[in-house]
Chains A and B, each alone.
Chain A
Amino acid sequence: MSSPALVRHPEDGMPTASIAEAGPVPAVTPAAAPTSFGALMLRWYRLNQGRLRATAIGIISLLAFLLVWHLLTTYRVVFFVRFTNVPSPLAVYASFVKAIHDPKFLMHVLLSCRRIFFGFSLAAIVGVPLGLIMGRFKLVHEIIFPVAEVLRPIPAIAWVPMAIMLWPTNEQSIVYITFLGSFFPILVNTLHGMSLVDPVLVRAAQCLGARERSIFREVYFPASLPHIFTGLTVGMGVAWVSLIAAEMISGQYGIGYFTWEAYSLVQYADIALGMIAIGVLGLGSSLLIRGAGQLVMPWRST
């Protein structure tokens, strides 16, 4: 389960970033004065010291990971875990070079991305408004919540047989499973955000003349946005988990299918390549959501 871990900590662009962030806070820079380029650079450096440090440590940590991997595989270490058949980083690199010139591999990747796009977008389009409405109108909450609570614990993978029966094509059932995976985290987090809206802000809006609809648009929605984006980030992670599982079980294309097929065809380097591709795609999509979040919530990025 590599992708949910990546997704659950989107702020840790690198595995060690959180350690670095816990370090000393960079000194506050003095108030602005007309300055030379050199002084500007210096100030930029001071302000971003923490981030630079995190990046540096992150790169070193990744390199160390590669080195350990390399050593374990070249010496074919057997110590409880058997590295005898595990491909080395160089072998994976070689199969990567081959793969990027192979339209079939690209098609696998693109198809997975398309499924994520449709499944996740649908989940967001349904989940966010539903959460907002459920948070605001008790009756809707009372009607929908019990059903959601019963369906929520069912892992998306457990839906595979049912999905195959429900949907006419394989493609649709995979998208459906991706949708299910991301839907509940999005719904639950949106609801949570709605329940945390500060009542004082609602009162403030009311005595400035805001009516129900404006309060919804101007207070409840923006106040819930941080949690909505948490839901989207978590949902994206679960979407990948569900997608890969679905592809491995019922797919014909897709990066999950590619990884599984590599195992059946005894192409061990391709297994690792598939896994890394999934990791990178998962990370990339959660970074996209983070970026979108910063665009939509400029008040939180200072």
Chain B
Amino acid sequence: MYNKGTIIPGLIIFVLFVTFPIWFNGLSAAPAPKPEMPPGGEKKCVESAEYMRANHMQMLNDWRDNVLRDDNRTVVEVEGKKYRKGLQQACMQCHTNKEKFCDNCHTYAAVNPYCWDCHLTPKEAASKGGTR
């Protein structure tokens, strides 16, 4: 083999790059976090939990279009209780702790929804005395 001095370090760098997740995790990683269930004691979500886990972002996007573009502010009913279609007016009514619910998953999945640039988390809403 020629040019061992550059090729072997090069190969080592390559292998380190490819195996990055292995040595970075060090063969053990924190388990997936468990999002906190609604503290208000509600038992059901607007759809099945399985559906929500996979599709909630698309549902929110559809709802937003429904409300803001098509003026379709239909009400969703869960266990006899009515909620207005919306992020703060539905989701956050039950999932009152964004930090322990939404963020728990989102940090793990490395998503950072920009919704909260404008919408208020329940905590912020409480401190500002608003509802939305």
Q: Are chains A and B native binding partners rather than an unrelated pairing? A: no
What residues of chain A have their CB less than 8 Å away from a CB belonging to chain B?
A: none
